[in-house]
Amino acid sequence: MSKTNKASTPAARRPHKQHDYTSAVYGSVLAASVIVSAGDARSPVSLAVLVVVSGFVFWIAHVYAATVASVHGGWHVAAIRTGMQHEWPVAAAAIPPAIAALVCGWIPAVSVADGAWAALVVAIAEQQMWGWAAVRRADLRGTVLAMTVALNLFMGFVIVALKLALPGH
């Protein structure tokens, strides 16, 4: 009976792709912040464009910073491509709130301000979801779990409080 070396199988040699949710959390917080700073007077299309373009610009900035710091291997095409893939959730997190703003713009009974609130709710819900995914991935328990979830909720509340505190926002 021969013994199989598990390390020699193709599945065992392939590195296990770990999910890093930090870029998604950051991107959703960024989207929420852009929505708050845009105010309630922007058209749904303008708000969607602001959110998506901001996400894209921050994605490029993250890729650039990671490339300069050689996080993914330096200034060669494969490393830059890896950085682009790793940081893509920063940009992708802008898409759901932008869609929410656009959909609300197509519904005649929804005001521009209510559409901005809907986009904000989507961004904060997304932030909570990505935060929870990160907590699950880290397999946190007990006090550390409670503190991490509380901090994520606190960030969402701060963004909502900011929107409520700023007139016309």
List the domain range (segments joined by +) for residue 57: 22-31+38-165
Amino acid at 156: G
Cα-based angle 131, 116, 124 (whole degrees, multiple of 5): 10
Q: Residue 16 domain-assigned?
A: no
Instruction: Please say whether the beta carbons of 97 and 32 come within 8 A.
Output: yes
Is 13 inside any structural domain? Answer: no
For residue 15, is it within any domain?
A: no
Report the C-alpha gap between 131 and 26 in whole angstroms. 10
Within a domain: residue 11?
no
DSSP label at 3?
Answer: P
Q: What tokens does 63 get?
A: 């890729």
Q: Is residue 154 assigned to a domain?
A: yes
User: Is 6 inside any structural domain?
Assistant: no
Total domain count, the chain: 1
Residue pair 82/128 in contact by the 8 Å Cβ criterion: no
The tens place of each residue's pLDDT in the chain, 169 residues long, gives 444 444 444 444 444 456 779 999 999 999 999 999 998 889 999 999 999 999 999 999 999 998 988 888 888 999 999 999 999 999 999 999 999 999 999 999 999 999 999 999 999 999 999 999 998 899 999 999 999 999 999 999 999 999 999 877 6
pTM exceeding 0.75: yes
Phi, psi for residue 2 in degrees, rounded to 5: -95, 145
Question: Is 87 inside a domain boundary?
Answer: yes
Answer whether residue 136 is part of any domain: yes
